[in-house]
Each structure stands twice: as structure tokens, then as C-alpha cells.
């Protein structure tokens, strides 16, 4: 199977080095008269039970630069920044901040020293207001803002600076969409007058236009001399916003301070993975796939959720991947959630294998053969303190409980085979999901539905309809997943479709929707404004449609 499309924006992988990368760190980019580092981390080591998360990492960050951290899922990026942010104590190593030794005892100490951190899974308090979250634990909260109105005014000023003056400071944070929560987290970081801001995948929850806004803010901050440590799995972003890149692999820095714009993608990827990886989408079946004699699995008729989307109709056939492209807030995620039953529609209906699915009832949806990997995996999909095995078998689609101990063995065998297929690391089925890196947690969610798909194949439901997984709904399936593993996930999703599962997905990354989906539905302001074959659309015209409402 050859690559259908290559979204690598650097020289092709074939021009990269053939052999494995050198073991030691590469020398920093540039020479001579650069500014003295604001931050210097030396020999940072951190172990967790059974895992050496950091094994002597060095990192230099200069004032006013955007220093990107790259690495596969589980390479140690989050652990490194948690050490910096005072959330983890390192086992060894030293940190100098502004030339002075720095050993934060807790996150507040790091904040006081001018280090603000925006985490991947935002640490906001849902029950508190936007303003309260922004100034949580703040000196000002105790000293200055004796009046709520002052705090709200200051919050509004910060939100406006971030281009989101429309977010009400009094709104409960739990009621904001993902992008809104991200903005609140940024506002909190800005409120501290930090000299170093650490951003762990800040763009993951953002749509295209919001990423531009984020970059504008980052440029403003760095022009003032603030340094930014930026973690992202999106290489094209690193080229756009980054100055230098440090690559982590298995808890070590395999390259420090490479120039972000000029280092070939193939070089970066082979440093990350230790091999050459083609960042490609699997080949699509012929143009007639998903049409003609393949049965229709999902049919959505006139579906409406007041305030979110209006009169949405489409269908997905067995073996077809249909992708929704649209901005955050366009209604795209709400459409998925209503199909799956997390939300109850105001009007319209959802049919699976020709029969209506009870609205607003995810239990009924799962029994009928729907699976969903939601956008916010931590709050919506995972039992964090339970094992990988329990999380993978949670859907019940594999039906392990009825046959006693023999099934325990089959369960474990299925879990192990998914761990291998998706390269979940560490590959121990008994490990609590909470201790996995973000990207590996995402893989666990997918593994759950893959097990279900495999278990039910060829069987029938009591009503005579086909057994197993019929429709997989994926909201941002590769969020937080590294480039190497992305290609594997794309292949897994295509493979599922090839086995007859209907797939409905949303991704903020337009190239991903175009590369993966057989058919693309463009959603704007709660309506489907275009439907076309993925292979016939290009990124620019889709972006134009989702932002301007018309093709180029
Ligand atoms: N609290 C913890 N307890 C046990 N192991 C942990 C803990 N936190 C992280 N780890 C392990 O340490 C390693 C590094 O994880 P880390 O989260 O730093 O990776 P990462 O590079 O940020 O990955 P991702 O790109 O997926 O976010 C992983 O093997 C992870 O499973």
C-alpha cells in the first residue's frame, strides 16, 4: 500500500539520514553572540515506579525565544515541564533561572519566580467563574481585588487582549467549550506577568483562526522578552512560531536547540522516533467505495439542536469514513454528540442500520453498535485510576464477563494485541491509565472500540442486525498523538473501515480530514454547507468555506 498523500512540509523523508540518529545531543544552533539563557536545566532526572521518565535532560531557553520541545508520546516532555513548574521534584540535576539556582518546592513557588504553565489537560476549576479561575491563588486576589467588579474588569481586559472579549468573566468555566477554557488558561498565565510561559500543546483544542490568534499573542510576549517553551506535535506550527527545537527521546535530549525553521522535517522525525517515518495517510479505496451496494449504516435526518446546529442530514455507509470540517463552535462536535446520544436533539432523528436510535441515550447507542472517542478523553472517556486493561474492555462490546475465567484470558489477549497494534507505551495492561502520557491515553480510548469491533464481527444482534461495532464516532482522534503514532492511527482507522465499520470523525486539522475521509462535510454556523469527496478538496478552499462560507 503506497502513501496517498504526504503532508510533510520539509524535504521528503527519503532525503533524511538512512541510519539511526547519533546517540549524544547535537550542538546548539548558531554560534557566538546569543543572549545568555534565561533558563538552564542540567542533567534533570526523574523516575516513576518502573519508568525512567527523564534520564539527564539539558535544556537552555533564551529570553524572548520560542523554544519548542518535541518528542514521541511518553518521551518525557510533560514530566520535564512539571519539574520546571514545581509539580515534580527531580531526582537529580540543577536548574538556573536568570543565573540563579532554582528549585521550586511547589507550583506556587514557580509562579512567584515568573514561570507560568498552561497544561495539556487544563487545570481549571469547573465550578468557579472565569474571573475566579484567572486569579486563583493570585496575590492580587487577596490584596487588590476586594471587589468582585475589579476582578471581573481585570479578567475582561486580559480576555480582550487574547482576542476573546466576548467570554463573560462571570460564566462558570465548566460551561465553556474547549477553546474557551484554553483562553481562560492563557489569561491566567498572562495575569502573572511571567518571564517564562510554558505551553503544553496549547493549540490542541483550538481551531485554525484561534491558532493564529495564539501565535499573535506569543509574538507579542516574546517581543517583550518573555520566553516561551512550546510543546506541540504539529510540526508545521513549530516551523511557524518556533525559534529553536529540543528533541526528547526516551527521557533524553537527543538534540538541543536545533533551528526550528530550517531543520528538515525528516531529520526531526528521525531524531524523535529513531527511524524514518512517512507522515502519510493510508491509501483510500476507489472512488466508488462507500457508495453503491454498501449498506447505509448511519442516517441522520433533519437533526437539530437548538442553538447549536440546524437541519443536518447525511448518511455514512459501511466502510466509509466521513469527516466533518468546521471551526470550534460551528456545531461539529455537537453533531457527533447528538448522533451518539450524549445530547438530545430538538428535532430530527438518527437511524442505525435502518432503525431509529433512541434520542439522548448513549447506552442504547452502544447496544446498537455505536462507539465514540470523545474530545475530552480525561473527563469523558477514561477511568483514570483503573488499569489499561479495564479501560480497554469497558465498552462491554467484547462481552468477556459471561463465560468465566477462560474469558479473562481472552480479554487479556485482546488487550495485549491492541497494545501491540497501537504501540501503547508502557505496554503493561495492569498500569493505571493516569500514569500514561496524553497521547498514549488517547490510544487506550481507541483500543476500546477496536476490541469491540473485533469481538462482534460476523455475529448478529438479537434483532437480526449485524453484531459488533457498526459506527465509530471520533472527535479529534489524533489530539496529542505524536507524528509517528499518527500514521499508525490513520492506518488503524482505515483498517476498521475496510472491515465494514462506518466512521464519522471531526478534526481541527483540515489536512487530516482531507487525507483520511472519503467524504467531507463542511460545517459552518450549525449547517452543512458543502459535501464532497476528500480527494477532490484542497486545504485552502475548505478553510475558505469554513471561515467565509464559500469556496475560493
Ligand atoms: N505520575 C506518573 N506516574 C508514573 N509514570 C508516569 C507519571 N507521569 C508520567 N509517567 C511516565 O513517564 C513517561 C513520560 O511521560 P510524559 O507525560 O512526560 O510524556 P510526554 O512526552 O509528555 O508524552 P505525550 O506527548 O504523550 O504527552 C511515560 O512513560 C509516562 O507513562
Residue 96 pLDDT greater than 90, yes or no = yes
438 CA to centre of ligand 1 in angstroms: 8
250 CA to centre of ligand 1 in angstroms: 10
Residue 397 pLDDT greater than 70, yes or no = no
57 CA to centre of ligand 1 in angstroms: 15
Question: 518-529, pLDDT tens digit by residue?
Answer: 999 999 989 999
CA 273-278-281 angle, to 5 degrees, is 125
The response to whether residue 436 sits with its C-beta less than 6 Å from ligand 1 reads yes
174 DSSP 8-state letter: G
- Alpha-carbon distance of 322 to 495, in angstroms, equals 14
Using the Cα atoms of residue 398, residue 402, residue 404 and residue 406 in order, give the sign of their dihedral. negative
The response to whether residue 441 sits with its C-beta less than 6 Å from ligand 1 reads no
- Alpha-carbon distance of 457 to 468, in angstroms, equals 5
Write the residue with the smallest CA distance to atom 28 of ligand 1: 74
57 DSSP 8-state letter: E
Any idea which of 7-11, 382-386, 467-471 has the lowest mean pLDDT?
7-11
Residue 102 pLDDT greater than 60, yes or no = yes
The 3-class secondary structure across 487-498, one letter per residue, is HHHHHHHHHHHH
The response to whether residue 77 sits with its C-beta less than 6 Å from ligand 1 reads yes
pLDDT band at 378 (very low <50, low <70, confident <90, very high): low
Taking phi over 0 as left and psi of -120 to 50 as alpha, with beta for the rest, 294 belongs to: beta
Place of cell 481541527: 508
- What pLDDT does residue 107 have? 87
Distant-in-sequence, close-in-space partners of 411: CB < 8 Å, separation ≥ 6: 389, 393, 398, 400
- What pLDDT does residue 46 have? 96
79 CA to centre of ligand 1 in angstroms: 6
Question: 314-372, pLDDT tens digit by residue?
Answer: 999 999 999 999 877 788 989 999 999 999 999 999 999 999 999 999 999 988 999 98
- What pLDDT does residue 98 have? 94
- 190-194, 289-293, 474-478, 525-529 — which one is most confidently predicted on average? 525-529
Tell which residue, 165, 207, 162, has the closest CA to residue 187. Answer: 162
- What pLDDT does residue 499 have? 86
The response to whether residue 74 sits with its C-beta less than 6 Å from ligand 1 reads yes
Could you tell me whether strands 370-373 and 321-325 are parallel, antiparallel, or unpaired per DSSP bridges?
A: unpaired
Residue 5 pLDDT greater than 50, yes or no = no
The three cell numbers locating residue 327 = 471551526
Question: 132-191, pLDDT tens digit by residue?
Answer: 999 886 655 554 555 778 889 999 999 998 888 899 999 999 898 777 888 888 888 888
- Alpha-carbon distance of 132 to 127, in angstroms, equals 10
Taking phi over 0 as left and psi of -120 to 50 as alpha, with beta for the rest, 395 belongs to: alpha
Q: In what order do the strands lie in the sheet with 227-231?
A: 115-118, 196-200, 227-231, 66-71, 244-249, 252-259
**Percent of the chain at pLDDT above 70?**
84
Could you tell me whether strands 252-259 and 296-305 are parallel, antiparallel, or unpaired per DSSP bridges?
A: unpaired
The response to whether residue 75 sits with its C-beta less than 6 Å from ligand 1 reads yes
Any idea which of 204-208, 297-301, 311-315, 426-430 has the lowest mean pLDDT?
204-208
Write the residue with the smallest CA distance to atom 1 of ligand 1: 435
Question: 239-284, pLDDT tens digit by residue?
Answer: 999 999 999 998 999 999 999 999 987 788 788 877 655 556 788 7
Q: Cα Rg for the chain, rounded, in angstroms? A: 24
The three cell numbers locating residue 177 = 467549550
The response to whether residue 408 sits with its C-beta less than 6 Å from ligand 1 reads no
pLDDT band at 386 (very low <50, low <70, confident <90, very high): very high
Average pLDDT of the segment spanning 59-81 = 93
Nearest atom (ligand 1) to Cα of 439: 26
- What pLDDT does residue 138 have? 67
246 CA to centre of ligand 1 in angstroms: 17
Torsion of CA 206, 207, 208, 209, to 10 degrees: -90
Within 10 A of 200 (CB to CB), how many other CB atoms are there? Answer: 23
For residue 255, cis peptide bond before it (omega within 30 degrees of 0): no
HSE-up of residue 83 (Cα within 13 Å, Cβ side): 30
**Contact indicator for 261, 30 with CB cutoff of 8 Å:** no
pLDDT band at 59 (very low <50, low <70, confident <90, very high): very high
Tell which residue, 254, 215, 218, 225, has the closest CA to residue 70. Answer: 254
- 119-133, 198-212, 294-308, 376-390 — which one is most confidently predicted on average? 294-308
Q: What interface predicted TM-score (ipTM) does this complex get?
A: 0.96
Residue 1 pLDDT greater than 90, yes or no = no
Look over the chain and give the mean of its residue pLDDT values, rounded to a whole number: 83
Beta strand segments in 111-251, E: 115-118, 196-200, 227-231, 244-249
| Pocket mutation for ligand 1, best pick of 45, 55, 76 (most atoms within 8 Å of C-beta) | 76
Amino acid at each position: 500500500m503506497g502513501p496517498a498523500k504526504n503532508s510533510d512540509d520539509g524535504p521528503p523523508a527519503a532525503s533524511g539520514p538512512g541510519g539511526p540518529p547519533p546517540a549524544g545531543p547535537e550542538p546548539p544552533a548558531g554560534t557566538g553572540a546569543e543572549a545568555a539563557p534565561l533558563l538552564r536545566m542540567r542533567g534533570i532526572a526523574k523516575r516513576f515506579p518502573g519508568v525512567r521518565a527523564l534520564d539527564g535532560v539539558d535544556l537552555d531557553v533564551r529570553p524572548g525565544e520560542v523554544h519548542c520541545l518535541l518528542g514521541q508520546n511518553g518521551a518525557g516532555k510533560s514530566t520535564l515541564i512539571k519539574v520546571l513548574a514545581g509539580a515534580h521534584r527531580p531526582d537529580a540535576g540543577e536548574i538556573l533561572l536568570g543565573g540563579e539556582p532554582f528549585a521550586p518546592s511547589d507550583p506556587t513557588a514557580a509562579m512567584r519566580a515568573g514561570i507560568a504553565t498552561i497544561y495539556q489537560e487544563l487545570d481549571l476549576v469547573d465550578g468557579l467563574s472565569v474571573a475566579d479561575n484567572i486569579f486563583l491563588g493570585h496575590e492580587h486576589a487577596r490584596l487588590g481585588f476586594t471587589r468582585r467588579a475589579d476582578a471581573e474588569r481585570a479578567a475582561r481586559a486580559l480576555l480582550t487582549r487574547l482576542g476573546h472579549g466576548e467570554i463573560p468573566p462571570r460564566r462558570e468555566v465548566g460551561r465553556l467549550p474547549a477553546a474557551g477554557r484554553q483562553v481562560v488558561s492563557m489569561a491566567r498565565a498572562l495575569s502573572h506577568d511571567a518571564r517564562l510561559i510554558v505551553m503544553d500543546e496549547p493549540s490542541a483544542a483550538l481551531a485554525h483562526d484561534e491558532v493564529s490568534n495564539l501565535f499573535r499573542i506569543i509574538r507579542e510576549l516574546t517581543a517583550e522578552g518573555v520566553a516561551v517553551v512550546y510543546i506541540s506535535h504539529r510540526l508545521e506550527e513549530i516551523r511557524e512560531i518556533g525559534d529553536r527545537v529540543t528533541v526528547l527521546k526516551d527521557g533524553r535530549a537527543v538534540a538541543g536547540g536545533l533551528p526550528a525553521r530550517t531543520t528538515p522535517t525528516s531529520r526531526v522525525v528521525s531524531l524523535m522516533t529513531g527511524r524514518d517515518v512517512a507522515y502519510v495517510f493510508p491509501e483510500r479505496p476507489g472512488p466508488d467505495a462507500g457508495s453503491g451496494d454498501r449498506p447505509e449504516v448511519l442516517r441522520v435526518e433533519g437533526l437539530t439542536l437548538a442553538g447549536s446546529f440546524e437541519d443536518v442530514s447525511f448518511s455514512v455507509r459501511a466502510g466509509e469514513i466521513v469527516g466533518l470540517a468546521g471551526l470550534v463552535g460551528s456545531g461539529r462536535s455537537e453533531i457527533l454528540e447528538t448522533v451518539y446520544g450524549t445530547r438530545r436533539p430538538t428535532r430530527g432523528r438518527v437511524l442505525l442500520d435502518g432503525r431509529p436510535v433512541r434520542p439522548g441515550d448513549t447506552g442504547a447507542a452502544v447496544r446498537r453498535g455505536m462507539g465514540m472517542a470523545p474530545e475530552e478523553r480525561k473527563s469523558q472517556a477514561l477511568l483514570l485510576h483503573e488499569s489499561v486493561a479495564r479501560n480497554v474492555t469497558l465498552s462491554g462490546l467484547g462481552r468477556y464477563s459471561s463465560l468465566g475465567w477462560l474469558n479473562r484470558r481472552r480479554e487479556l489477549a485482546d488487550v495485549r494485541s491492541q497494545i501491540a497494534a497501537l504501540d501503547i507505551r508502557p505496554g503493561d495492561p495492569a498500569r493505571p491509565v493516569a500514569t500514561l502520557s496524553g497521547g498514549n491515553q488517547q490510544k487506550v480510548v481507541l483500543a476500546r472500540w477496536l476490541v469491540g469491533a473485533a469481538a462482534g464481527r460476523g455475529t448478529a444482534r438479537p434483532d437480526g442486525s449485524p453484531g459488533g461495532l457498526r459506527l465509530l464516532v471520533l472527535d479529534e482522534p489524533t489530539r496529542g498523538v505524536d507524528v509517528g503514532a499518527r500514521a499508525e492511527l490513520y492506518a488503524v482507522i482505515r483498517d476498521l473501515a475496510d472491515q465494514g465499520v462506518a466512521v464519522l470523525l471531526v478534526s481541527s486539522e483540515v489536512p487530516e480530514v482531507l487525507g483520511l475521509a472519503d467524504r467531507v462535510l463542511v460545517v459552518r454556523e450549525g449547517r452543512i454547507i458543502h459535501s464532497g469527496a476528500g480527494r477532490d478538496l484542497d486545504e485552502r478552499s475548505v478553510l475558505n468555506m469554513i471561515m467565509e462560507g464559500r469556496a475560493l
